[in-house]
């Protein structure tokens, strides 16, 4: 596989979360001081810088759902999982 840095499919940053005890998606946000901080997408806990990145497929395998594709994302209703 060949990665290109501008490819929007390249990645979802990930790192291991001590709270969740697994690898999670890391997102960046601003903390109270206006500094960029990394947080766990699952528990919102503080995280170190990402250790790598998942591709879209790997993200789905890890149990995440990707919103915003195709039709409008509908919060609170999932037509796929039957929950």
List interacting residues with Zn ion (CB under 5 A): 17, 19-20, 40, 42-43, 45
Q: Closest approach of Cβ 18 to Zn ion, in Å?
A: 8
Q: Closest approach of Cβ 81 to Zn ion, in Å?
A: 21
How far apart are alpha carbons 56 and 58 in whole angstroms?
5
Q: Which is nearer to Zn ion, 43 or 78 (CB)?
A: 43
CA atoms lying within 13 Å on the CB side of residue 51:
9
Q: Which is nearer to Zn ion, 18 or 78 (CB)?
A: 18
Beta carbons within 8 Å of 52's beta carbon, 6+ residues apart = 13, 14, 15
């Amino acid at each position: 596989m060949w990665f290109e840095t501008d490819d929007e499919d390249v990645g979802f940053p990930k790192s291991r979360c001590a709270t969740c005890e697994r690898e999670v998606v890391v997102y960046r946000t601003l903390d109270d001081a206006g500094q960029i901080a990394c947080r766990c997408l699952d528990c919102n806990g503080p995280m170190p810088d990402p250790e790598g990145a998942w591709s879209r497929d790997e993200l789905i395998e890890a149990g995440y759902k990707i919103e915003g594709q195709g039709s409008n994302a509908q919060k609170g209703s999932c037509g796929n999982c039957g929950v």
